[in-house]
Amino acid sequence: MDRANRIIYNQTGKILLQTGEATGDVLEHDEITELFYTDVPYGSIDYTRNRLIGINVETKEPILEEIKVELTEEEKRIQELENQLLIAENEKVGGLL
């Protein structure tokens, strides 16, 4: 199946988004009956830790999904050593940490 390049543009004809053409086992475009927008303040989302997956249509708030990062074996080893040091220090000072 071939999918057309959907172009979303504003009232002046300026292109805001293009989906690009696709072929093969791809999903067809959804029918658009209305368009909305919201402005998310600059810096309010840490895109290195979160993925924007949608917008709550009632509140216009972004719906975020935390990005799960797989640690390398070396990073896991370092994290375990850091945890062991914290536990040892916590025991040393009498559980104040």
Amino acid at 60: K
Band of residue 94 on the pLDDT scale cut at 50, 70, 90:
confident
For the stretch 44-92, pLDDT in tens is 999 999 999 999 999 999 999 999 988 899 999 999 999 999 999 888 8
Residue 8: CB atoms within 10 Å: 11
Amino acid at 75: E
Sole residue written with tokens 């074996």: 73
Report which DSSP code applies to 75.
H
Amino acid at 91: E
pLDDT of residue 96: 64
pLDDT of 97 strictly over 70: no
